Amino acid sequence: MKRFVAIQICALLLVSGALGGMVAFTPVYDEVRSGIVLVLCLSCLKLEPKTNAEFTFFTADNRTHAKFVLDNLSKGPVFLHYSGDACAGCDVMYPVIKDLFDVEFGKQDMFSTIATFESTPIPYIYVNIHHTTNELRDAQVIYDKDYVGGIPMFTVVTLGYDNGDVKPKYTTLYGTLTTYGCDTDAERLVFLQQLLHQSIEMYEQNKAGYQP
């Protein structure tokens, strides 16, 4: 009996010590909060959001644009790709984006590059919310224009003219793009190509007046 109680106490001390240590000395609490609780996997939710792909000047809750986006915007329209682990929708979109920019990277990598599309440089930033920095992860809510709070999510930030000023203008797409009429990878690719084409046109029209 005494031996059994000793085993129980040892097990409890081991587990509680390990749990306390993990919370105190590793980022697991923040990882779970920001990567699982605050940002949902849309395919796990079994739903696709019905949103439009129109460009807007207004960020979610009028937050200021992310610094890394503004820094890259002087090079060309910025493409943000939010993805995550154990997300079927992210897995569907991952190869489409790789084809779109002809790039190669691991799903859990932190990856960014200056891709080229129609001879225009496109700063492409891939963010796996479960393997990234706080700055990149936190930017997701800035561009979550329809307050979906889910992944996969794609944002294109370009330039637009607004009452005498040239400002960042962006649009955000969600899920596997089925609500935009894309059911196959080829249709998704064409849709994103058209969106990029439109964002490049807007960028070219306004870049002369842009002051970072």
Partner 1 sequence: MKLQRKRLLSQIILFFSANLGYPGYPGLKTGFCYPFFYCQACPAATSACPLRSLEQSVDKGSFTWRLFLFPLLIIGFLGILTGRAVCAWACPIGLLQRGTGRVARKVKKTPLAKKLGAHKAEKYFRYTKYILLISLVFVTSYLIGFIFTDICPVGFLTGTIPVLLLNPGKFVPNFFFPFAFVIFVLFIILIFIIERGWCRYFCPVGALLGPFNKISFYHISVKTDRCKHCNVCSYNCPMGIDVPNMHRDPECILCGKCVNTCPEELITFEKTGWQ
**Which residues are near partner 1 by CB under 8 A?**
4-5, 7-9, 11-12, 15-16, 18-19, 22, 26-38, 40-50, 84-86, 88-89, 91, 107-108, 130, 146, 175-176, 178-179
Question: Of the candidates 141, 140, 147, 169, which has an alpha carbon nearest to the alpha carbon of residue 81?
Answer: 140
Q: Please, what is the minimum distance in Å from the beta carbon of residue 154 to partner 1?
A: 16
Q: Assess contact for 159 and 147: CB atoms under 8 A.
A: no
What are 59's two structure tokens?
């960020």
Q: Which is nearer to partner 1, 92 or 166 (CB)?
A: 92
For residue 90, the surrounding DSSP H or E stretch is helix 88-101
Q: Which two structure tokens, joined as six digits, stand for 60?
A: 């979610």
Least distance (Å) between residue 38 CB and partner 1: 6
Instruction: In angstroms, give the least distance from the CB of 175 to partner 1.
Output: 7
* Nearest by Cα to 132 from 106, 156, 93, 158: 106
Contact 153/173 with Cβ under 8 angstroms?
Answer: yes
DSSP state of 6: H
Q: What gap in Å lies between CA 207 and CA 127, rounded to an integer?
A: 26
Residue 33 or 197: the one with the smaller Cβ distance to partner 1 is 33
Nearest distance from residue 52's CB to partner 1, in Å? 12
CB of 170 to partner 1, least distance (A): 20
CB of 120 to partner 1, least distance (A): 33
* Nearer of residues 121 and 149 to partner 1, judged by Cβ: 149
Q: Which is nearer to partner 1, 15 or 186 (CB)?
A: 15
CA distance 128 to 136: 9
For partner 1, give the closer residue by CB, 70 or 110.
110
Nearer to partner 1, 2 or 208 (CB): 2
Interacting residues of 1 by C-beta distance below 8 A, sequence separation 6+: none
